[in-house]
Amino acid sequence: MNRKIGIYGSAVNSISVICFALSMLAGFDFGSYLSSMFIALSFVLMVCSYAGLADNTVKAAGYVSVAFASIYATIILLVYFAQLTTVRLGELTCQVSELLDFQRCGLMFNYDLLGYGLMSLATFFAGLTIMARTKADKWLKCLLMIHGVFFISCLVVPMLGVFRADNPAWIGVAVLEFWCLYFCPVGILSFVHFSGCGK
């Protein structure tokens, strides 16, 4: 069962990342918000599978990864559910909109970056659970652990006020497309990893 959950989670994650990338390119906010929610949900499945299949010597790293992934998913689901409901359907005052509307680079945007910072920590610790025996697993372990470096930028950037609502939109899209190009192989290699477990 651990293996199957990992296979399904990584498949959904890969598809969700691709949908997110396409939605960003098309300027389809509803699609990017919805696919972000599925990235979060499927990521939890992946990380739990890494922890469940981990060798006893690295179980603690797996549990730490699950903890960070759970916090990440909670934040992301709150942020994007608010965008798809309250922000999209409500008639918000200007001040409330400044806080809740993701596009205004306010509170919800900063929470989003915090969430992705925690996702980065989760990938780092998930990487520690992999006993790389194949070339694909070595690449996966490397990508997961290097992704952990994004924690620093995700934590510091909101404090510096780098992203503002008046910045050109293409900058944010370019950053997110780069992330998609980086993270899509993680989902694909995770699928390969879980498919090969126990064989």
Question: Over the stretch 135-168, which tens digit does the pLDDT of each residue have?
Answer: 999 999 999 999 999 999 999 988 888 777 677 8
Residue with tokens 């503002």: 164
Better-predicted residue by pLDDT, 164 or 21: 21
3-state secondary structure of 149: coil
Which residue, among 32, 52, 38, has the nearest Cα to 9 in the 3D structure? 38
Q: Is the dihedral of CA 110, 111, 116, 119 positive or negative?
A: positive
Are the C-beta atoms of residues 144 and 130 closer than 8 Å to each other? yes
Which residue, among 167, 163, 182, has the nearest Cα to 123 in the 3D structure? 182
Measured in whole angstroms, how far is the alpha carbon of residue 133 from the centre of its chain? 26
Averaged confidence pLDDT in the chain = 94
Q: What is the tens place of the pLDDT at every residue in 30-77?
A: 999 999 999 999 999 999 999 999 999 999 999 999 999 999 999 999
Q: What is the pTM of this model?
A: 0.93
H runs (alpha helix) in the chain: 2-26, 29-53, 59-82, 88-89, 94-100, 107-128, 135-147, 150-160, 169-196
